[in-house]
Chains A and B, each alone.
Chain A
Amino acid sequence: MRHAAFKLVWALLILTGLCFAGDAGPCLDCHEGVVTSIATTIHTRVAGLDCQTCHPAAPSHVETGDTAGLIVDNPQQQCFSCHTDLTCDGEHCDRESFTCDNCHCVHHGSGPSMLKGDATKVCSKCHKDVAARMDLPNHHPVPEGKMTCISCHSPHRDSRASEATAADVNNLCWKCHSRYQGPFIFEHQPVIEDCRICHDAHGTVADNLLVQTEPFLCLQCHEFHFHAGLAANHDTDVIVGGVEFSNPNAEAGFKMAYGTKCTQCHQQIHGSDLPSQTVPGQGKGLLR
C-alpha cells in the first residue's frame, strides 16, 4: 500500500513538473545561459539580487562593452557583505587564492548552498587523500550519499574551533553514537581518551572503522590472554566430564579461541555499568 502511494505521488509530480526560466533583464541578450540559470537560485528569488549587485560595473558594460570593474577586486568581501554570519576564520577562507567560488557557484550552483556539486564531491576535489580512504572497505556511509563531509566538519570555521562547542572530538562522535557516551561505571581508558586511538572515521580495511584488525590492535596496549599460551588436544573431539566437546582447531584450539578477536568476550569495550563475573577482576572485564 505504501509503495503504491509513493509511486502514485511520484508519477503525479513527474507529470506536473514544468520548467520556467527566470526574469531576463538586460544581460540576457549576451549571457542567456548564466542569466537563465541564476534566475532559479536563492540569490535572485529570495534575496532579490540582480547582476549589478555583484557586478557593479554592469551598466557601463552594457553601454560600452568595457569589462573593467565587472569583477570586484575582492569577491570574498562581496559575499561577506550579505553573509555576515560567516565570520570566516578557517583554513578555507583567509587567502586570496581560496575564495568562496572555489566551492560555491553563484551562477550555476546546485541546491540551497549553491555548491559546485554535492558537498562530498566538492571537498574531494582538494582532499583526495581523504576521499581515497573513503574507498576502503569500511567507511562511514559517505560514498553512499547518506552522510557528507559537513556532517562532521565545518568548512567555514576552523575545523578545530568548531570542536569548542563539543569540547573534544569524542563529543562529535557521540552526537550519533550516543550509545557509547556513558559516563559508565567501568571505563575503557582509550574510549574516553580519544575515539581515534582505535577508530579512523574516514575509512579502514578492518571492520568497525578500527585502525587495525583485532587482536593486533588490542595487543599493542595489552598482553595476550594467558590461555593463548596453552596448546589444545590433538584430537578433534574431547570428552570432558562425560560430555563430548569439539576441538576443530586441534592443537591451536586455545590460541584460536583467545587470540582471534578480543571483543568476542570483551564485548562491552566502550564501557559498561554492569560488573563482569570474577571477584579478583573487580568487575572490570567489560564482559557484560
Chain B
Amino acid sequence: MKQTFLFLLLVALVVIPAFAEDGGGTASVLVTSFENDESPTKAAEYRDTDAGFGFSLDMYGQFGEQGLFLISGHHTSPDEQQYNIRFWTGRHGKIDVSYNEFVHNLIHDPLVNMDAAFAPKANFHTDMNPMSQYGYSVRDLKARMDYAVHGYENLKFFASYSKLEREGMKQVRAMSHCAGCHVNAMDREVNEATEDIEAGASWTIGRLRLMASHLTRSYWENGATPTVLYDLAEHPVQHTPAFNDRISFDISDGPQMVERVPDVEKSQNQVRLDYGWDSGTFTTAYTMAEVTNQTADLSFDYNAWLASGAQRLGEKTWLKLRVRTYEIDNDDYFVDIVEPVAVAGPYAGQTYQEHYGYNPDFLRTSGMNRSVTDGIAEIRYQYARMGSFRFGYRYLSEDRDTYEVQEGETETITGRLYMDWRHVIPKSWKLMASLAYSDISHPFANVNGGCTPDMDTEPVSSPMAPGSIQYWEWQDARQADLSNQPSERMQFRATASRPLGQKTFLMLSTSYTDDKNDELDMSTWDRDITLASAYINWIPSQKWSWFTGYTYMKETTDTHICIPVFDG
C-alpha cells in the first residue's frame, strides 16, 4: 500500500503542476542532524534520528474555470514525511488527501530491578532479546471527497477513507508464578492497522440542515502473537509439584499465547439536525454504534443523544443550553477457569475448589455498562467590545449498572460551577482568566481496594498448610476504599500576552488545580498541581521565528498507601 501510494503521490506532484494554468509556490531544502548518546526515547520520541537532507514544498495552481489545487510536502527522511494534496472544482467538489509518516521510538525495559533472592526463593528475569531497539513506524493516510450536485447545491455528499498503520517491534513480557517469579521479556512484532470508511450526506433547506453518516471501522493486528513456555508449577520453597492445583497452566501445557490483540469491528450511524436563526442556533443529534471484539466474540453497543442550543438575549448576553445522554451495554461473559488436580501434597487428587471450597468460575458483567446524563447551562455577558464574562453550570450523572464506587453505590454525580473572563486591550495585553469549582459525589474509586486487617496471628509454614488463610481471603478482607479522583476540585487558570515592540511577543500563563477526596472511608486524598510558563517569541521575518520559554510545574499528592506484610 505504501509503495503504491508514494508512487501515485510522486506522479501527482509532477503531473498536476504541469497542467496548471496559473500557480506558484515555495520550495526549501532542510538539513537535519541529530546527536544522541543514549536511548532516543527521551530526547526524540517521535524523531527519526538519522541525519541527512530533507526537502519542503508548498505549491498552488489553478486549472479550468474554478479549479484550484494546493500541494504541500515535507520530506525529512524516508521515515519522516508529510504530504497533502487538495483539489477544488468550484464549490461543487473537493478532494483532500494527506499522508503522514513518522517514527515512534519505544523503551526497552532491561528489567534489572526484578532480580532478588531470599533462599530458598528467587525472583528473576530473562530478556530474550537484550540488544533489540524498539519502536515503530506510524503511517497515517487520510482521504476525503465532498461533492455537491449541480443544480442541487443544497444537497452534499461526502465519502472518506483513512488508514492508520503501526509497524515495528515492541517489548512484551510475561510472568511465570511458582518456583519464584520469573519475568520473560521478548520481541513482539507490531503490524496493526485501523481502517475507517465513512460516507454521508447533508441537505440544507434555508437555515435548516440535516445530516446523516455511516462509519465502519476495522482494526487488526497482523503481527504474530508471541508464545511463552511457562515455568514448571512447583512449590516456591520445597520445589515439589505440590503447587500445581492453583496454577491453570505451566510448561506441561506447551507454549501459551501472550498479548493476543483481538480484531475489532465498529459500526456507527449518526443523524444530525442543525437549525440557525438570526439570534441563535439549535442542534440535535443521535448516534448509534456497535463495537465487536471478533476474536472473543464480545460486543458492546451505545446509543447517544444530544440537544444543544444558543440564544442571544438582548445586545450583550447569550444563553446556551445543552443536554446529552448515552447508554453503553456490553455483553456478559462466563469465565470458566481451568482447575488442575493436585498431583502431590496434602490435597493430592483434588482441585483447588474441592479442598478450599472456592469456586474461581464467574460471570463477568462488564463495568462498562452505564447510563450517563450530561447537561450545561451557560450565560455569556459582553461588557465591552473586547471583553466578556461567562458563567456556567455543568451537571453530570454517571450511573453504572454493576460497578460500585462506594459500598452499595454505583452513581457518580458531578456539579461544576465555572466562570471565565476575557479582555483585550488593543495593541497591548490580551488577558484571560477562569475559575471553576466541582463537587463530585461518589467519585470513581476502588472500593475495599487495600488494607487487610490483622487476620492470622498464628504463623503457618505454607499457604498450603491445613487451615491457612488463602490469598483470596486476604483480598476479600480488604477494607479501605482507594481512589485518585477528587470529590472536590478547584481550578484556576490565567494567561496574558502582549507584543513587545513590532516583532516580539511575550506570553505568560499559570494554572492551579486543588483536588481533594474526603469521601474515602479510611483516609483523605489530596493533590495540588501548579503550572507556570513564560515564553518570548521573536519573529524577525515571515520565514524566521525564534521561540524561547520556561515551564515550571509542581505536583504534590497526599494519599493513603497500603503495604501488606505477609508471605503468601
Binding site for B on A (CB under 8 A): 2-3, 5-7, 9-10, 12-14, 16-20, 40, 42, 45-48, 80, 84-85, 87-89, 94-98, 111-112, 125-129, 131-133, 135-138, 141, 144-146, 158, 160-161, 163-165, 167-168, 175-176, 178-179, 181-187, 189-190, 192-194, 197, 205, 207, 211-212, 216-217, 219-224, 226-233, 235, 237-241, 243, 245-249, 253-254, 256-257, 260-261, 264-265, 267-268, 272-275, 277-283, 287-288
Contact = CB atoms under 8 A, between A and B. Distances in A.
A10 B75 contact: yes
B183 A264 contact: yes
A193 B338 CA distance: 29
Chain A contact surface mostly: loop
B483 A47 contact: no
Contacts of A136: 551, 553
B330 interface: yes
Interface in B245-275: 245-250, 256-262, 264, 266, 268, 270, 274
Contact of A221 (B102, B300, B445): B445
Contacts of B490: none
Contacts, number: 441
Contacts of A246: 115, 117, 124
B116 A111 contact: no
B117 A233 contact: yes
Contacts of A211: 484
Residue picked from A126, A226, A274, most chain B C-beta under 10 Å: A226
Contacts of A160: 322, 324, 374, 376
B335 A17 contact: no
Nearest to A145: B82
Nearest to B226: A288
Given A14-B55, A179-B192, A238-B118, 17 more contacts: A2-B6, A7-B53, A112-B86, A129-B533, A158-B308, A184-B293, A221-B484, A226-B471, A227-B181, A230-B567, A232-B118, A247-B117, A257-B113, A277-B175, A280-B352, A283-B360, A288-B258
Contacts of B55: 6-7, 10, 14
Contacts of B257: 274, 288
Contacts of B397: none
A274 B258 contact: yes
A282 B24 contact: no
Nearest to B111: A264
A20 to B, nearest CB: 5
A232 B17 contact: no
Given A97-B386, A226-B566, A87 B209 contact: yes
B509 interface: yes
Contacts of B565: 226, 229
Contact of A253 (B59, B118, B260): B118
A231 B563 CA distance: 13
Nearest to A180: B261
B46 A146 contact: yes
Contacts of B224: none
A189 B484 CA distance: 13
What 8 pairs between A and B have smallest CB-CB spacing?
A253-B116, A223-B450, A238-B117, A223-B562, A128-B509, A132-B533, A229-B565, A178-B219
20 contacts: A17-B25, A18-B24, A87-B276, A87-B283, A89-B283, A146-B138, A160-B376, A165-B285, A184-B296, A184-B298, A187-B366, A187-B368, A222-B450, A223-B563, A226-B568, A253-B118, A253-B123, A277-B249, A278-B177, A279-B340
Interface residues of B, number: 199
A60 B78 CA distance: 56
A255 to B, nearest CB: 8
Nearest to A239: B119
Nearest to B102: A146
A20 B62 CA distance: 11
Interface in B42-95: 42, 45-47, 53, 55, 57, 59-60, 62, 66, 68, 70, 72-73, 75, 78, 82, 86, 88, 90-91
Given A248-B112, A257-B116, A267-B172, A89 B449 contact: no
Contact of B302 (A167, A179, A197): A167
Contacts of A260: 113
Contacts of A12: 14
Contacts of A282: 335, 337, 360-362
Contact of B557 (A13, A190, A220): A220
Contacts of B180: 240, 245
A243 B221 CA distance: 39
B562 to A, nearest CB: 4
B241 interface: no
Contacts of B413: none
B485 interface: yes
A187 B281 contact: no
B112 A273 contact: no
A160 B10 CA distance: 40
B113 A256 contact: yes
B106 to A, nearest CB: 10
Interface string B116-134: 1111111110000000000
Interface string B504-543: 0001111100000000000001000001110100000000
